[in-house]
Amino acid sequence: MSIGSTVHFHDVEISHSKNDVLESKVYYDPNIDTLPNVSDEPMENKSKQVHAVLYRAVRCCSSVMKFHHERQLDLTQLIGVNINQVPSYLCSSNESFKETIHDIRPKISQNHLEELRHVAILMYKMLLLEKLQTLWITYRKSGMGELQQPPSTKHVGLKIWSFEIRSRIKHVENANITDDEKCQLFVDHCQKKLNDQNEIYRNQLRCRTSRVMDYTSPMELTIEKFIKQGFLCQRIEYDCQISLVQYHYTDAVLKRQYLIENPNENQIQLFKRLCKLKYEEAITKYHFNSLKQCIPEHSTLNSIRNQLIGTSSVIDSIQDGTIRKKLSKHYIEVAEQAKTDIIILARDAAERQMRQYQTKYNMEMNQTWQHEKILPTDQRLTSTMIHLMEKRLANIDARVEYIYKCKAQLFQLNTNVL
């Protein structure tokens, strides 16, 4: 092992010697006080810091090739989100941005407009990265047991690494990872990449705006407003992902606390059965409600959609304008009525399914409490078990309700676009 100050940041090189022994080199600059993964020892203890860097390197990889492979992956490959993709509303082919700028600068040149478009794209990327940073902070808190626990429950310090994290590691490393430390290192690495990329965009934006001619505060506010409006759908989607991490964590904590109460096998199976039935009851309930709301929305938009529905090529070929117009109107009315009929059929089917699962859930609950009354005292659910059961059932319902609330918001936004 060799230690030196070849580069101006902490780094580790791992290589094979001639006799196939794994060697590690630490590039260490004492002027830098941040390590990739410091030890629990005080920062003044430099030998411990070096040990921490080496330990991280060895834990991170099983081979030199894998180590360098991980380091060379870009942010998109690591997190599975293409941060370089430009949304449609900022593409040159989309006139909406041009129209927005023309409202405040009617005689702007094409080159000037494209400069502002690049500014807008950087603003969008920074907004996207901010949401991604919040999401990955939430992933880390869940994995470190730092997310908020349900009130009036014991603190269990449960560490839950989200499925998304394990899935990303499996994709990157082509292996199933169950090690907490490996998950933490991966998340920390991704967070650093996100922070670094955000700083790059911030500097690029500062540089670009300084070169843009007549870049005023009203113009900046107009672009920011346009970006935030276009980002609404993505914001809802990311807020949903962030909240679902918390819902999943709460569910896992309540499940763990229930098991801490030492339930017997029947009580464990009862808990599982009630949770499954509650999930099915909640899914069908909120699915029915969403379809029920679709019908008035659909009727309200008929006049708008009528203008968007294409006509039959046979009708278009009719020479007589009066007949063509009459048939075209009838064609659109039939198409709209068919859509409405399909929605009504789907709603009625969803309502029957909802009633079925509500009945099953209510029957199971009634049977449970009736059975509890005849059990010996030492075999009954304790008050703590009942409390935890009620909280988990409520959390399941709240999670499903939130998902459908987000879907409704997205539906409304897409409707407004029409």
Write out pLDDT tens, residues 229-277: 999 999 999 999 999 999 999 999 999 999 999 999 999 999 999 999 9
Position 160 scores a pLDDT of 94
Residue 173 CA to residue 362 CA, distance in Å, equals: 46
Helix, strand or coil, per DSSP, at residue 16: strand
Report whether 169 contacts 177 (CB < 8 A). yes
- How do residues 53-85 score in pLDDT, each as one tens digit? 555 555 544 454 454 455 557 888 899 999 999
In b/e form, how buried is each residue of 351-384, taking b as 16+ CB within 10 angstroms? bebbeebbeebeebeeeeeeeeeeeeeeeebeee
Q: How many CB atoms lie within 10 A of CB 50?
A: 19
Position 341 scores a pLDDT of 82
pTM of full prediction above 0.85 = no
Position 333 scores a pLDDT of 78
First to last CA, the chain: 65
For all residues of the chain together, what is the average pLDDT?
Answer: 82
Position 22 scores a pLDDT of 52
Residue 168 CA to residue 165 CA, distance in Å, equals: 5
Say which residues have a Cβ less than 8 Å from residue 323's Cβ, sequence separation at least 6: none
In b/e form, how buried is each residue of 255-284, taking b as 16+ CB within 10 angstroms? bbbbeeeebeeebeebbeebbebbbbbbbb
Lowest mean pLDDT among 32-46, 184-198, 387-401: 32-46
Residue 214 CA to residue 101 CA, distance in Å, equals: 13
Q: What are phi and psi of 102, to 5 degrees?
A: -65, -25
- How do residues 279-306 score in pLDDT, each as one tens digit? 999 999 999 998 888 766 555 445 444 4
